[in-house]
Amino acid sequence: MQVLDLYTVGCSLIFIDDQSPKKGGHAKYHEIDVVVSHDENGKAHVRACPDQEGFDPEVDITHCPQDVHEALSGSQFRLQVSLKSDGMIRSHHSWDFDVIDDE
């Protein structure tokens, strides 16, 4: 019969705080100002405000939250959107938004 010798090796675990500077990263979605308008048939259009660089104010934003889509003409909101490669601007009904007050 063979004898198995067990040896213990001392070890310790030390946690070192991360002291590196925070990385900025890129936001997954854009936050832009949008305005609601209605055409002569009463259909609501949610579009980027004209001063939003990189977003065409003539393109409708799809899949907006219901509260934004049902707002009165001229109402403005800050909305999270994603810009698709084909130029479409898309939001999502569950994404947060803020009402912009004209004061």
- Please name each of the domains of the chain with its CATH number: 30-95 (2.40.50)
| pTM metric for this prediction | 0.69
Render pLDDT for 20-77 as a digit per residue (tens, 0 to 9): 887 766 668 889 999 999 999 989 999 999 988 888 899 999 999 999 999 999 999 9
Calculate the dihedral angle through the C-alpha atoms of 89, 94, 95, 98, rounding to the nearest 10 degrees: 110
CB 61 within 8 A of CB 46: yes
Question: CA angle at residue 52 from 74 to 34, to 5 degrees?
Answer: 30
